[in-house]
Chains A and B, each alone.
Chain A
Amino acid sequence: MEYFFQQLINGLTLGSIYGLIAIGYTMVYGIIGMINFAHGDIFMIGAFISLAMFLVLTTVLGFAFLPVVLLLVLIVAMLFTSAWGWAVERVAYRPLRGSFRLAPLITAIGMSIVLQNFVQITQGARVKPLPPQIPGGITLFQGSTEAGTIVVQLSYMQIIIIVTTVVLMAAFTLIINRTSLGRAQRACEQDRKMAALLGVDVDRTISLTFVMGAALAAVAGFMFLLLYGVIDFYIGFLAGVKAFTAAVLGGIGSLPGAMLGGLLIGLIEVFWSGYFSVEYKDVAAFSILAIVLIFLPSGLLGRPEVEKV
């Protein structure tokens, strides 16, 4: 039982990270109907910027007060990663707006390759370890089994991740539902041509969607760095694929769906590793995806599609 709770907490933490990345996929898919394959690598870029900024602040500039350092790192990472998100859209997707469905997918895959290799060349292929920065946590309860005592702990790190995710989710829901940007986004989702005719700046709206998605991915990258303490240029691929899985699982185009899908994928992965085998955790996540799609093609919270004849 204690083990179960610990896994639950771990799963929710990992799921929050997937959920934040998944929102980027789901927003982009919602508005221009393409799989932004490079989004996982934007997450990786976010993690690298976080790492570099953290080192600049602590070792070069000698900042010591951790909360301020972390806040600064987060803000800088969000800003710079957003610039990357914007640039990727501008270079690889905008010229192909209104083109055939496969063309942007290919440029997206190309961009993913470019980003991975760019980081590999400039930062090296070896993993970058960062020692845990926020030690400690709250011990929820202790139990003893035959194997010894088991402690269920909610670390401060996990609290930060879950709280940040909840706050960001709330903020994003507000943006989408209440602001004119959100309205423009939803209009573009429905009908881009009509939105343009009614004076919505479609290009700007799409750019901002990429920027917002990248900012969230940066948060995810930052949290991934703090949680696991190890990053390399390749983390974006698997995280990206799983986050996309999460977006599809939750129902692509739906923000709460992306979050829910992220949490589910995180839980599935953690529980599978905890109870069955670590090696096949990815297989479990992907199999769930296939099963859900086959029986519930529009995902958990997606709108069911009625085939137009």
Chain B
Amino acid sequence: MSVLPSSVVASLDDILLRHRHQATELLQILIQAQQIEGWLPAATLTHIAAALGLPRARVEGVAGFYSFLYTQPVGRYRVLFSDNITDRMLGNAELLDALCRKLWIEPGHLSEDGLVSVTTTSCTGLCDQGPAMLVNGRAIGQLSHRRINEIAELIRQQRPLELWPAEYFQIDDNIRRRDALLGLDMPPGAALQAAVARGRDGWLAEMQASNLRGRGGAGFATAVKWASAKNAPGAPKVIVCNADEGEPGTFKDRVLLNSFADLVFEGMSLAAWAVGASQGFLYLRGEYRYLLPQLEAVLARRRAAGLLGTGILGQAGFDFDIAIHLGAGAYVCGEESALIESLEGKRGTPRIRPPFPVTKGYLGRPTVVNNVETLAKTCLIALGGGEAFAATGTAQSAGTKLLSISGDCAMPGIYEYPFGVPISRVLEDCGASDTQAVQVGGASGICLAGYEFHRRIAYEDVPTAGAFMIFDGTRDLFDVARAFVHFFAHESCGFCTPCRVGTSLLKGFMDKLADGHGAQADLADIDWLDRLLKNASHCGLGSAAPNPVIDTLQKFRPAYERRLVSLDFEPAFDLDAALAEARQLTGRDDSGAHLKTHEEDEK
């Protein structure tokens, strides 16, 4: 066993103590322990395991699960380019190459002096101000060649991040259209006051009357969820705010947490009041870590104001507080049971359901997991009553929806519309022209072609968690689908066979087409994989993974067909390239040392 320097041991023990040596805090402990050396050496994992009384293999299992935890050394400057399709459309690949060239490094490889590493990461939720990157977890948007040059210089000079120009880290809300929620000016506590005045049952009745449905995309009735948790045996009950906003193209929660955090936390308290919960968690995606200090400040203010703690608003027995847990780069943790596993300090693997979290959630206790926007919306219901809320939007989709608009339009940003707004209206408002397709609901959502722009944003027509990515006539929808397939393959937790292997196989087929090796037979195999993923996957990630391919194959099939080089069969790899190593070893370059890539050329 390798020995840790005593200073590292002291820092680790301090972290462990702050987390009361709780195994449920393992992920939080690992995130903080990584701050010490920038990565997690083997001996650090051993030390943490021993201190928590956990098997070391389990700690290694957790450390290996999350993208932002490193068990190999990374650069003192760790640069991650956001790689959503919208970043790609804004030229992130070229900027990444430029930065690597200036720093004399290979993408994905640590520089020899250990100074810097540059690679990509899944969508960072800055699609309205991309291309974006994270440097040691801090978000920088609006990247340009000029900015990249400056960043390269700052890294070369080893300038501490705190001394980088402040405007780099300026993240704009870009709110373009306000309706009920974003127009609300509520003093903290007002909604809670109103709900408490109605009593727990009266408040739940208002929620039932509101017809509020979950804004995470699935659209489950919020009051039903709350009532189930309320009636389930077991305590203390738990309210979780799912701020693991990982769906590519979605950034509304970023804005709500940045500028409307009181509404979100108040929503959690409203849920706690209805359910009788005493413990709250905000699960904040690692990409939004930069919001942590200001969110903690809001929580502190609310505690001081008596809106969190014991006997809230003078109600005996209304005890509720909120802790913020960080994620560390795992899209699958947006699935509620995977999120709960992660909260418990484990790998973010979705659980078998039933039982559902409302009966057996965090540590087996009744747990409500709600989306950020859903919770914020409950303030409107507390203030204005359930019936008034139900009267807005459409019959089956009450209220408004925040859309995160990005891609080919003049004014990307956040737009709040009453449910029922047609796609065409949204396109007009955000200044999109020559629109070829819109991806609604992110990578797992639906790709709409021009003939569908009359359709409406609503659970009964086009449901969405809020992502709205626009592609104009210059875009290739195959590239779009391929980017999403790469995303799912990277984010698959690997638990079930169809998703673990299927997303990788699907990626292989899309790359095969992209690399000019496509054959007609591949389209049939893609179809078959799509169906198996959809049918047999353990959770929504796997069953949604083929969506972008299914939609684009149906609506933009020529984008695939024009990539086929054979109507029969083609190998997935370049046969001539497979001889390159042998050519190099033998120094040969005669005609026998080459293979024609396509069989037709050989005849």
User: Is A bound to B?
Assistant: no
